[in-house]
Amino acid sequence: MEHFVPGRRPALPLRLLEVLEPSGGGSGRHFVDLCRGMHERGHHVEAVYSPVRAEEGFVRELKAVGLPAVHAVNMKRAPGPWDLASFLELRRIIRNNDFDIIHGHSSKAGALTRIRLPGPHIPRLYTPHAFRTLDPRLGRGGRLIYGMIEWGLARFFTDHLICVSEDEHRHALSLHMPGDRMSVVVNGVAPPSCEMAQTIRASFGIAPDAFVFGFIGRLSAQKAPERLIAAFQSIAASVKNSHLVMVGAGALEGPLRKAIAESGLQNRMHLTSAFTGPQAAPAFDLLVMPSRYEAMSYVMLEGAAAGKPIIATDIGGARTVIEDGENGFILPNSDDTSLLAKTMAKAAAPETFEELAAFARSRKHRFTLDVMLDQTETLYEQVATKRRVSAILQPAE
């Protein structure tokens, strides 16, 4: 595994192609931050995204970066015969440009950018943003199939693989991926602004002295928001003057709104997609992440950067950000919400909360965007340099 010296700058500007299929969540956030950061540092950056699942805000933000080119290539999440057309379009973009690095993000773009036909070699990098095999709902057969695919691509088609947490790195090693071609680069965030905190609370009629449990993320099975609703229902009577604010959208929005309406706690549980994670995090007292699996969640980093205590299941990145019992709590990953409810009530108790919050504030500057960009930039230069040296040493035909 590579080690980096933050702050190192590359000797030459690089030509980079960044490719992503999904546009939402942490992978979309990382992608835009990386494209913008490398562009501002003087590199030639072109981006490829898929309009199939693209969120309007993501596309708008990506195009606003001012890159030399932003390409739309139809890529679908599920594998199928349509992948051939996507592969050929990506190949056309690659062949028409002299890129130094091709960086695929998430599984579909990672596969399509790494599989290649004979010809001049351009280094391929891959950031999984959570291996499919991390999903605990995936059966043994599914883990075997996806694990073999990831192993084969990593072993034979990948110049370097970037894990976003030590947990993801350990998982990659458990799949027998080549450790000498892997690095850990933890995601980074800019310090969040507190400007919207009071506005968000006021929009739901939440008093300034109320205790707010917060959730940020896609309303999907992976993020398990239903666990949090069930836990809050259990403690609402005992943790008086408390509210739950959930920020996100997704497939489970309808069932979650129904559960809130049937709970009798409509005035204390609030669901919205009107705010971003960085806007919402400062409005919370405590962030709760009941996810079933993660690699390294941006939401967790946003909460940490806002100086908020965090309760999370034992997911990827949790032990990187949370010191159990110091700035939050790490819980077993279970659909039994009794322990989650008990821990939320414990954390909201005034004396416990003050200790958690003080420790969280002392750690708020640990995961910055500049550190992530420095480390990625250094890795790009290392891989590009190896390519240049190899080209010089290769005998002429």
More confident: 77 or 314: 314
Q: Are strands 44-49 and 211-216 parallel, antiparallel or unpaired?
A: unpaired
Domain 197-362 matching CATH 1.10.3720.10: the answer reads: no
Question: What is the distance, to the nearest Å, from the Cα of residue 202 to the centroid of all Cα atoms in its chain?
Answer: 29
| 278-299 per-position pLDDT tens digit | 899 999 999 999 999 987 888 9
pTM: 0.76
What percentage of the chain reaches a pLDDT higher than 90? 75
| 86-128 per-position pLDDT tens digit | 999 999 999 989 999 999 999 999 999 999 877 789 999 999 9
Q: Do domains 15-188+368-393 and 197-362 have the same CATH topology?
A: yes
Sign of CA dihedral 380, 176, 157, 153: negative
DSSP codes, 232-285: HHHHTTTSTTEEEEEE--STTHHHHHHHHHHHT-TTTEEEE-SS-HHHHGGG-S
Q: What is the CATH number of domain 15-188+368-393?
A: 3.40.50.2000
Contacts of residue 292, Cβ cutoff 8 Å, sequence gap at least 6: 135, 136, 137, 221, 222, 223, 224, 313, 315, 333
Per domain, the residue ranges of the chain are 15-188+368-393, 197-362
